[in-house]
Amino acid sequence: MSYQIQQNIPVPPAAGAPRYPFRHLKIGDSVLYACTDPQAKHRACKAAYRLADHHDWQIIARKLPEGVRVWRID
């Protein structure tokens, strides 16, 4: 089997849309991620805090009956 090494091949953009809208929050914004399943709420909170930690943001996330609301505070 032979391989051909190539240069200057652009990387295609990532497929699909992000699952959670938290990445677009500015300071003072909040967003409701609508879900009712307790496991989905847990995953959404975990994703929000992971993203905030990665970007050194301060957030508050609350599980509500209609989903998870995330506020970016700093």
pLDDT along the chain (74 residues), means of 10: 89 80 92 94 95 95 95 94
Q: Does any domain span residue 71? A: yes
Angle at 40 between CA 36 and CA 45, to 5 degrees: 110
Place of tokens 């992000």: 18
**Chain centroid to CA 44:** 8
Residue 16's pLDDT is 74
What is the count of structural domains for the chain? 1
3-class secondary-structure state, position 4: coil
Domain that holds residue 52: 37-74
Instruction: Please tell me whether the overall predicted TM-score, pTM, comes out greater than 0.85 for this model.
Output: no
CA distance linking residue 56 with residue 74, whole number of Å: 9
Q: Does any domain span residue 1? A: no
The CA-to-CA distance between both ends of the chain, in Å, stands at 54
